[in-house]
Amino acid sequence: MAAAAWASAFLNALLHTANTFSLPLCHGNALGQFFCEIPQILKLSCSKSNLRELGLLAVSVCLVFGCFVFIVFSYVQIFRAVLRIPSEQGRHKAFSTCLPHLAVLSLFLSTSIFAYLKPPSISSPSLDLALSVLYSVLPPALNPLIYSLRNQELKAAVWRLMTGWFLEH
């Protein structure tokens, strides 16, 4: 499943990169974002590349849908296994580990879908920037936090490190 996700992401990136490099830019080359996103680059293009981008979007939707099916299938299997845990405390611990990941995944999916499929009439530079931060910066930043807060040994080690540093200074 990981290899399929990597391969589909690579294919998607390759197709969009090839399309982007073939676009003639006539509105300058300065973007109002902190990284290059396809909708922002399309705003700079002077060609009518909407049909080509719609075709790539259809391919992307198929790839994303396939990955989404695998994710849902995985979570169903995880929840089925958790529900078979005999102790209430064990189920609670497993759910408290899985549900934050599901929340981060939902944040990523909902903001990225909205960013790419929102109507142009509600587009603004500040909204575009906020959405891109929500789906590209926040989920990767939250995952290590979720993992580290569940690990009691890591919390204790960080506490010892911090108290030792403050005592030295």
pLDDT in tens, the chain (169 residues): 778 778 888 888 888 888 877 877 776 767 766 666 776 777 777 766 667 777 887 888 888 888 788 888 888 898 898 889 888 888 887 777 777 778 888 888 888 888 777 887 887 878 888 888 888 888 888 877 777 766 666 667 767 777 776 666 5
Q: Tell me the angle at which helices 125-136 and 88-117 cross, rounded to the nearest 10 degrees.
A: 150
Q: Look up the pTM and report it.
A: 0.61
CB-CB contact of 155 with 148 (8 Å): yes
Residues 6+ apart with CB under 8 A from 106: none
Note the pLDDT of residue 96. 75
Structure tokens at 159: 């506490």
Note the pLDDT of residue 167. 67
Domain boundary among 66, 84, 102: 84
Note the pLDDT of residue 60. 82
Q: Are residues 113 and 139 in the same domain?
A: yes
Count the domains in the chain: 2
Q: Are residues 5 and 70 in the same domain?
A: yes
Torsion sign, CA atoms 147, 36, 13, 114: positive
Q: Are residues 12 and 78 in the same domain?
A: yes
Domain boundary among 49, 84, 119: 84
Q: Are residues 79 and 1 in the same domain?
A: yes
Note the pLDDT of residue 166. 67
Q: Are residues 169 and 92 in the same domain?
A: yes
Note the pLDDT of residue 151. 66
What is the rounded distance in angstroms from the CA atom of residue 6 to the CA atom of residue 77? 21
Q: Are residues 10 and 45 in the same domain?
A: yes
93: domain range? 87-169
Q: Are residues 56 and 131 in the same domain?
A: no
What are the CB-based long-range contacts (under 8 Å, 24+) for 81-84? none
Q: Are residues 121 and 150 in the same domain?
A: yes
**Residue 114: exposure state from Cβ atoms within 10 A (0-12, 13-18, ≥19):** middle
Q: Are residues 69 and 45 in the same domain?
A: yes
Q: Are residues 42 and 91 in the same domain?
A: no
Q: Are residues 69 and 109 in the same domain?
A: no
Amino acid 66 reads G
Task: List alpha helices for 22-151, DSSP H.
Answer: 38-44, 50-83, 88-117, 125-136, 138-150
Domain boundary among 84, 104, 123: 84
